[in-house]
Structure 1
Amino acid sequence: MDNKRVLVTGSSQGLGRKIVEKFSENNSFGFGFDLQESNKDLKGWEFLQVNVSNELEIINGFKQIKKQIGKLEVVVANAGIVPPWRTINEIDNDEWEKVFNVNVKGVALTIKHSVELMKSSGGSIIVMGSINSLLGHSGQSLYTASKHALLGIVKCAAVDLGKYNIRVNAIGPGPIATEALLKRLKSREDNKGMNVRSALDGFANNTALGRMPTEDDVANTALYLSSNLSSSITGQIIPVCSGLIRLE
């Protein structure tokens, strides 16, 4: 992984931040895009405030990348949002547009503008999907629809970009105890739902391994998909869920 030039979107916190740190530990450098300003400096990394659903901001961000480091070998399209849990009959139109703009359009635009900086020497594009790219759960119709859409983008992009030796894959994390998930569970607890500890235990007990995956597990999978060890893998989704999908 030495000296790989990398872009990570949604880089300021959670999985995105962990992925940036993992690449940095493995001697890669590059850029992070996020709506929020990054609060931590990493040698060799520059963080730009970019709304991935706004093509003009994406274009300007890629201009900065081209000017400063010339090209990219790895792109991790991680930026995404999780809407409130709602059943299909409670769908909110404004939420629908916002989620699809970020989760789907944002990924498509990121891939679109990555190609120019990758096609001369190939590389790896990694899309952050979810187990909800493969499964459906009550109250998650909007999020699930957006993550299913990403799997379609990955499959088509893999075919479109194979001629440039650009591989395109997705990672499908299961529930991970990120700050964002804990906030959602606490909100549900405050509304007289299941308490946070019981919810986390439930997630773990439903897996084959009896534990929830971690941010490190996901970041290590991104590292693998970026390396030559995965040179024949494209158009796929790799679940990182401790065996949750196996049991569904």
Structure 2
Amino acid sequence: MNGVLITAGGNGIGRAMGHAFAAAGFRVWVTDVEPASLEACPADWQKSLVDASDETQVARLFADIQKTWGRLEAICANAGIAGPTAAVEEIDLSAWQRCVSVNLEGAFLAAKYGGPKLKAARGAIVLTSSTAGLYGYPNRAPYAAAKWGIIGLMKTLAMEWGPEGVRANAICPGAVEGPRMQGVMEREAAAKGTDVQHIYDGYASGTSMRSLVTAEDIANMAVFLCSAGARLVSGQVIAVDGHTENPDPKV
């Protein structure tokens, strides 16, 4: 049975990925920084309390995977945080560094320690970027910079690992329904002096399909990219966003 590791798999997009991969016949291993989130996951999933940006913890995670499973066919480098919502000149360096560390360095560490296992299995890695990694994004500089970096990392992995049969791709979710996006919209509303519903409507009207996406939409794409059906899909940036026309909500 193929195995998948999903970082930040305890809730949101990560948990949806876990369910989608399990339904596709994968055994599932998830990490998270919240014990309660891990406890709420299905009993038959492997679970590890791991900060994706901590190299010591990530190295220990892959040692545990080797001991328990031996093989690993897929990785979803999904860990990320929203970071501050503010103009560039108002962002503390420590807040910038933390956002970039979790979003970008977390993906790098998953690739660094997971690469040998994916090469042995001729597997696949999917990195979670964002439509913020495709456009400039007002008041979200650390997040946008990290998500652009994810795409550069993915393109490099595709070139380095392709000759060894490993595929690398990035998914760019648009605005995803759920608590995390609710928090983002609340902060944007406060920063722009408007109400949350207006920000929500702005996100939806900024897509050609006039809709936010769900975690399941992202999860389904991740499963496809790790499947035999995508055997020659690599180095691609795939937006699952209802076709974003304007990434900055209209106010």
Q: TM-score, normalised by structure 2?
A: 0.92
Tell me what 2:223 maps to: 223
**Secondary structure at 2:121 match in 1:** coil
Residue 33 of structure 1 aligns to a residue whose secondary structure is strand
Instruction: Name the counterpart of 1:149.
Output: 149
Counterpart-to-counterpart distance in 1, 2:68 and 2:245: 42
1:8 corresponds to = 6
TM-superposed deviation, 1:179: 0.6
Distance 1:194 1:246, change over 3 A: closer
Does the CA contact (< 8 Å) of 1:206 and 1:244 recur in 2? Answer: yes
Q: Secondary structure of 1:119's partner?
A: helix
Identity of counterpart residues, as a percentage?
28
Contact kept in structure 1, 2:154 and 2:169, CA below 8 Å:
yes
Paired residues for 1:166-185 under 5 Å: 166-185=166-185
2: CA distance, partners of 1:226 / 1:192: 40
Please report the TM-score for the alignment, with normalisation by the length of structure 1. 0.93
For structure 2, the residue ranges without an aligned partner over 5 or more in a row are none
Q: Following TM superposition, by how much is the alpha carbon of 1:191 offset from its aligned partner in structure 2, in angstroms?
A: 7.1
CA distance 1:164–1:131, shift in 2 (3 Å): same
Deviations 1:143-163 (A, max 9, x none): 111111111100111111112
Q: CA deviation at 1:197?
A: 2.3
State the 1:7 CA deviation: 0.1
The answer as to whether partners of 1:131 and 1:245 remain within 8 angstroms in 2 is: no
Q: CA separation in 1, counterparts of 2:153 and 2:190?
A: 37
Q: Does 1:36 align with 2:34?
A: yes
Q: SS state of the match for residue 120, structure 1?
A: helix
- Separation of aligned partners in 2, 1:136 and 1:178: 23
Structure 1 stretches lacking a partner, 5+ long: none
**Structure 2 CA distance, aligned partners of 1:210 and 1:221?**
20
The one-character-per-residue Cα deviations of 1:124-153 (angstroms, maximum 9, x if unpaired) are 100000001110121111111111111110
More displaced stretch, 71-80 vs 37-46: 37-46
Q: Residues 182-221 of structure 1, C-alpha deviation per residue, up to 9 Å, x if partnerless?
A: 1232345567833222222221111111111111111111
* 1:113-132 equivalences in 2 (<5 Å): 113-132=113-132
2:124 match: secondary structure: strand
Contact 1:18 1:215 in 2 (8 A): yes
Q: Secondary structure at the match of 2:211?
A: coil
Verify the 8 A CA contact 2:74 2:124 in the aligned structure 1. Answer: yes
Note if contact 1:23-1:223 (Cα within 8 Å) is conserved in structure 2: yes
For the aligned residues, what is the CA RMSD?
A: 1.8
Q: Are residue 212 (structure 1) and residue 212 (structure 2) matched?
A: yes
